[in-house]
Structure 1
Amino acid sequence: MSRFAGKVALVTGASSGMGQATARQLAEEGARVFTAQRGATEFENIFADFSDPSVPEQVIVAVEEQAGQLDVLINNAGVMREGTVEETSEEDWHLQLQVNLTAPFLLTRHAMPLLKQGGGAIVNVGSIEGLGSNPRHPAYCASKAGLHGLTRAVAIDHGQDGVRCNAVAPGWIDTPLNVDFIESMEDPAAFRQQIGKIHPVRRTGMPEDVAKLICWLASDEAAFVTGQVYTIDGGRTSQLSLP
């Protein structure tokens, strides 16, 4: 399959997990892939610390200078700090809003002239925590809910320019961070069985599960799809708890 032959894609936060899986699938399907994050990747890598508001413009300029075009933007980089509203410092609040919401806004703004040239696609990686909440995640939830709203706004404003914008809202995905969390439990196997039971499909998600949805949304197969937030959580948020 070569859905992205001749296209240039940028994936943020692609050193592991969902970003890495997405970058790999895009490359396998013919895209020239740039990645941007603090670590190195196997792709054309741009060092980027998205806590710095000047970085998104620098990243887009680097892609334009090296490739001359941008067809697919995947806003995946994110950060989460735990704490109730009483425990969350203003520093942690602003960091999560900056990385999870402001950076995608700035990347989108600076990328828009390039995306307009070829009828580009944007996919934002939100979260089911933009729809509900886990305990002690006020800033993270606010940032992801904001990202879902930004997705719809961009789709409305720029559909006439040939640019589509959608989002995915993953649930529990076996990223390295979550796998390490499971392994830190006293009985990892029992915890994994327990966490699996909150999903009707009886398992947690894999990064590749999310990558497949992201790549479909970014492809021409989804040409009539924009302004949507796709929940991908194994049915978790559809299942009511037992009384």
Structure 2
Amino acid sequence: MNTAQVQLNITDHLTALAVTNRQIVVVTGATGGIGRAIVEELADDYAVVAQGRDEARLISLAKLGEEIYPVQCDLADTAAFETTFGLLPRVDALLNVAAIAPRFAFDDATAAVWSEVMHLNVTVPAELTRTLLPQLRASTGTVVFLGSGASRTTSPNNVVYAASKHALQALADGIRIRTEPDRLRVATVAPGYVDTPMIAWDDDYPLILPETLIKPSTVARTIRHVIEAPADTQITEVWIRPRTEA
């Protein structure tokens, strides 16, 4: 893609996406550490619709390949999904990566905190998956939810985020059962601590990290493995742990 003429509106990409001979993969949170690594991993082989909010980072993403289609939008506005993502001509895989991870103990978290985290981490991927369900059914596609080590455990100082990832696990399982007749594949990829800015919390809670953090590229390679699994199987859960535990 000519980065001098980068378009950031999804409607600007529809003509090219309608004629591409590549599978189309939608990646939310594509400008974050894991999201960008996923785009880098898939850029040579897929048409990647890369969602983010930061214009400069999206333009940078366009340099990664000829079929990177950056889309600038705020996922919090789920009412706009039908008139944006719903216009995509085909979707072979949806990678729900975008999330926020503020740390709060339950007695420090307000109702507003709970609402924001649950909306962005659970409601948004649920709504986007529902919006793209016709395209995913047509392609017998794959949906991946980026979970977390917090999907099955918790911390007294990170309970809001952990609760959202528990809910995301339940969402993924429920969607997989619901769409089994359509032959969709639905997976949760749940990494432990990944070396991204997300874990650079600026708060007063104690933090113990493992000696070696997981690389974003490792998570990206795992997601490729999930979406490229042979047709006779589906990989429903992958838990990615650091070599040393915190």
TM over 0.5: yes
On the 8 A contact 1:36/1:59 being kept in 2, the answer is no
Report the equivalent of 1:53: 78
Report the equivalent of 1:90: 111
The equivalent position to 1:212 in structure 2, one of 213, 221, 246, is 221
Q: How does 1:115-194 map to 2 (within 5 A)?
A: 115-178=136-199
On the 8 A contact 1:50/1:98 being kept in 2, the answer is no
Task: Determine the C-alpha separation between the residues in 2 that align with 1:39 and 1:57.
Answer: 22
Summarize deviations over 1:74-117 as a string: whole Å, max 9, x none: 00000122222111111111110011000010011011100111
Report the equivalent of 2:23: 7
Taking a change above 3 Å as real, the CA distance of residues 82 and 195 of structure 1, as seen in their structure-2 partners, is closer
Q: Which amino acid aligns with 2:226?
A: L
Q: How does 1:191-206 map to 2 (within 5 A)?
A: 195-197=209-211, 203-206=212-215
TM-score scaled by length of structure 2: 0.79
The equivalent position to 1:33 in structure 2, one of 48, 53, 57, is 48
TM-score scaled by length of structure 1: 0.80
Taking a change above 3 Å as real, the CA distance of residues 55 and 24 of structure 1, as seen in their structure-2 partners, is farther
Report the equivalent of 2:3: none
- Residue 72 of structure 1 deviates from its aligned partner by 0.7
Task: Determine the C-alpha separation between the residues in 2 that align with 1:85 and 1:195.
Answer: 21
Taking a change above 3 Å as real, the CA distance of residues 52 and 155 of structure 1, as seen in their structure-2 partners, is same
Task: Determine the C-alpha separation between the residues in 2 that align with 1:57 and 1:137.
Answer: 33
Task: Determine the C-alpha separation between the residues in 1 that align with 2:180 and 2:144.
Answer: 14
Taking a change above 3 Å as real, the CA distance of residues 223 and 103 of structure 1, as seen in their structure-2 partners, is farther
Contiguous gaps of at least 5 residues in structure 2: 1-20, 62-67
Task: Determine the C-alpha separation between the residues in 1 that align with 2:32 and 2:72.
Answer: 15
Taking a change above 3 Å as real, the CA distance of residues 139 and 56 of structure 1, as seen in their structure-2 partners, is farther
Report the equivalent of 2:6: none
Report the equivalent of 1:44: 69
On the 8 A contact 1:12/1:37 being kept in 2, the answer is yes
CA RMSD of aligned residues (A): 2.3
Percent identical residues: 25
Task: Determine the C-alpha separation between the residues in 2 that align with 1:18 and 1:117.
Answer: 28
- Residue 181 of structure 1 deviates from its aligned partner by 5.7
Report the equivalent of 1:188: none
Where 2:112 maps in the other structure, the secondary structure is: helix
| Count of residue pairs the alignment pairs up | 213
Taking a change above 3 Å as real, the CA distance of residues 23 and 222 of structure 1, as seen in their structure-2 partners, is farther
Contiguous gaps of at least 5 residues in structure 1: 183-190, 198-202
Summarize deviations over 1:124-145 as a string: whole Å, max 9, x none: 0011111111332222111101
Higher relative helix content:
1
The equivalent position to 1:23 in structure 2, one of 30, 34, 39, is 39
Where 2:223 maps in the other structure, the secondary structure is: helix
On the 8 A contact 1:48/1:55 being kept in 2, the answer is no
Report the equivalent of 1:233: 241
- Deviating above 4 A after TM superposition, structure 1's stretches of 4 or more consecutive aligned residues are none
- Residue 177 of structure 1 deviates from its aligned partner by 3.4
- Residue 222 of structure 1 deviates from its aligned partner by 6.6
